[in-house]
Amino acid sequence: MNHEETDHDNVQCVILAAGQGTRMKSDRPKVLHQIAGKPMVQYAIEAAASIGARRPIVVIGHGAEQVQNAIGDRADTVLQSPQLGTGHALLQARAKIDPAAETVLVLYGDTPFLSAETIRRLLDSHLAAQSVLSLITFTPGDPALYGRIVRDAGGRVVDIVEYKEATPEQRAIREVNSGIFCYQTRWLLSQLDRLQPRAGHGEYYLTDLVSLAAQDKARTATCSCDEAEVLGINDRAQLAAAERLMRETINTRLMLSGVTLIDPAHTYIEAGVTIGPDSLIYPGTHLRGKTAIGRACTIGPNAMVEDSTIGDRVEIVASLIEGATIEDDVDIGPFSHLRRGAHLCTGVHIGNFAEVKDSTLGPGTKQGHFSYLGNAAIGANVNIGAGTITCNYDGQRKHPTTIGDNTFIGSDTLLVAPVNIGHDAQTGAGAVVTHDVADHELVYGVPARPAKRATRNE
């Protein structure tokens, strides 16, 4: 079996996400601030899943209800209240840790760049060394407030000292604690009770397990990683930097998979978006949510597409597309708005200032100029004239409009729903259609009435 694919199903992951995140200056819990459209805590949950670990346990506290709602059933949660430090957080999770799981992995809810590869390296070196405790350290440009890694003459880690408690000599240490740990479960469960609260503020430091292990001469191991992977997000400036980094990661992946981005720095694509090869994305484009875009499309400039499925060879210029399904060879824009439930079949043309909601437009249908279609089922090769409006709302309820294949809706037609227009029919310019129109019938006027000419010549 490929080593990379080994599942770590004996690993119980605990994600610490209860902290307040004071420096965000926000009513929203820190771990729910989004990066590339995903709440931060979601990255940790996905990291656990990506190595095949057991369903994670998330320690929640600050804004617990909101965090719980965002997590849904993707993880178990335990409440930490009050929040008395990282050691206290893991103590709250203890009862949920299955003693039969070989390894406990601790991740943070505010460290979204940690890769599966790095977690695997930590677990591999941990198991190979038969350690009771292993951790990821790194050597940042500025060690700032991170916990300092203290090693003995033999290079063994003997302590982690928080910046505010460190001596000047210790503050000079460049190697710091990422906070990402793994433990032999049996050892961890037997040692957690040894953690003592700090005098004064009463916090329990998870990092104290390092010196306890060292005192017992138990085996420990470290592995290192790039600063970029363990960046913690603490304030809005770091959040923006993280957003930029994540954007670069996503955009690079897409470009290497065959998508052209004219200006990646100004192209905003969320983590859950897929795009087929030979598609071309112009700047000022935002692709969000669960959006899938096919091959050889041209999107932008200044398009926003959210939660939509787009086929192949589709062109979208400066338009807003939300919750829509768009088949192949459609062109849209500039300045149109497709809303939830818009379904455009193959070859549809949408021009400017068109709005479509909860409506299907059949193959080859054209809606070229300022007009509104709502709650409508429209056949193939229909022409929607400029200024057409489905009057679908009577102030209380929405009503449907249907239009058959090959029908020609004249400019400025008002379709007062509920109303059915047959196939190969025609409405005259300015018609106010209050009654159904038969196949091949031409209606015009206010209110619209059938013309003497019964059949539209095509």
* Residues noted as catalytic: 369
CB atoms within 10 A of CB 416: 18
Under rule CB under 5 A, residue 300 binds Ca ion = no
Distance CA 382, CA 407 (A): 5
CB atoms within 10 A of CB 252: 12
Candidates 83-91, 238-246, 304-312, 425-433; binding stretch for ligand UD1 (CB under 6 A): 83-91
Q: How many residues bind Ca ion (CB under 5 A)?
A: 1
Q: Which does 89 bind (CB under 5 to 8 A by kind): Ca ion, ligand UD1, none?
A: ligand UD1
Candidates 45-53, 77-85, 262-270, 316-324; binding stretch for ligand UD1 (CB under 6 A): 77-85
Half-sphere exposure of 331 (CA within 13 A, CB side): 7
Q: Which is nearer to ligand UD1, 38 or 456 (CB)?
A: 38
Q: Which is nearer to ligand UD1, 222 or 401 (CB)?
A: 222
Q: How many residues does the chain have?
A: 458
Q: Which is nearer to ligand UD1, 18 or 24 (CB)?
A: 18
Task: Identify the CA nearest to 63 among candidates 100, 21, 95.
Answer: 21
DSSP 3-state of 227? helix
Q: CA–CA distance from 45 to each of 4, 105, 240 (Å)?
A: 19, 12, 21
Under rule CB under 6 A, residue 147 binds ligand UD1 = yes
Under rule CB under 5 A, residue 410 binds Ca ion = no
Please list every residue from 184 through 213 that binds ligand UD1, using CB under 6 A.
205-207
* Cα of 59 vs its chain's centroid, Å: 21
Closest distance of CB 234 from Ca ion, Å: 6
Task: Identify the CA nearest to 436 among candidates 408, 387, 403, 413.
Answer: 403
Under rule CB under 6 A, residue 19 binds ligand UD1 = yes
Please list every residue from 220 through 279 that binds Ca ion, using CB under 5 A.
232
Q: Which is nearer to ligand UD1, 85 or 294 (CB)?
A: 85
Q: Which does 59 bind (CB under 5 to 8 A by kind): Ca ion, ligand UD1, none?
A: ligand UD1
Under rule CB under 5 A, residue 21 binds Ca ion = no
Contacts 24+ apart (CB under 8 A), 324-330: 324/356, 327/363, 328/294
Under rule CB under 6 A, residue 83 binds ligand UD1 = yes
Under rule CB under 6 A, residue 135 binds ligand UD1 = no
DSSP code of residue 198: P
Q: Which is nearer to Ca ion, 232 or 294 (CB)?
A: 232
Q: Which does 347 bind (CB under 5 to 8 A by kind): Ca ion, ligand UD1, none?
A: none
Candidates 107-115, 296-304, 305-313, 342-350; binding stretch for ligand UD1 (CB under 6 A): 107-115
Q: Which is nearer to Ca ion, 22 or 455 (CB)?
A: 22
Distance CA 321, CA 324 (A): 6
Under rule CB under 5 A, residue 39 binds Ca ion = no
Q: CA–CA distance from 388 to each of 320, 408, 428 (Å)?
A: 20, 11, 11
Q: How many residues bind ligand UD1 (CB under 6 A)?
A: 28
State the sign of the Cα–Cα–Cα–Cα dihedral 234, 240, 242, 243: positive
Choose which of 8, 54, 88, 343 interacts with ligand UD1 (CB under 6 A).
88
Distance CA 154, CA 141 (A): 25
| Residue corresponding to tokens 């406990």 | 104
Q: Which does 386 bind (CB under 5 to 8 A by kind): ligand UD1, Ca ion, none?
A: none
* Contact (Cβ atoms closer than 8 angstroms) between residue 111 and residue 231: yes
Closest distance of CB 146 from ligand UD1, Å: 4
Closest distance of CB 59 from Ca ion, Å: 14
Q: Which is nearer to ligand UD1, 17 or 119 (CB)?
A: 17
Under rule CB under 6 A, residue 118 binds ligand UD1 = no
* Contact (Cβ atoms closer than 8 angstroms) between residue 148 and residue 160: yes
Q: Which does 162 bind (CB under 5 to 8 A by kind): Ca ion, ligand UD1, none?
A: ligand UD1
Distance CA 27, CA 175 (A): 34
In this structure, are strands 354-357 and 267-269 parallel, antiparallel, or unpaired? Answer: unpaired
- Of all residues in the shown chain, the one whose CB is closest to Ca ion is 232
* Contact (Cβ atoms closer than 8 angstroms) between residue 148 and residue 173: yes
Task: Indicate the residue type of 402.
Answer: T
Choose which of 64, 71, 78, 176 interacts with ligand UD1 (CB under 6 A).
176
Q: Which is nearer to ligand UD1, 75 or 89 (CB)?
A: 89
Q: Which does 206 bind (CB under 5 to 8 A by kind): Ca ion, ligand UD1, none?
A: ligand UD1
Cα Dmax for the chain: 103
Distance CA 187, CA 217 (A): 13
Task: Identify the CA nearest to 314 among candidates 340, 289, 290, 338.
Answer: 338
Binding stretches for ligand UD1 (CB under 6 A): 16-19, 59, 61, 80, 83-86, 88-89, 108-110, 146-147, 160, 162, 176-179, 205-207, 232
Binding stretches for Ca ion (CB under 5 A): 232
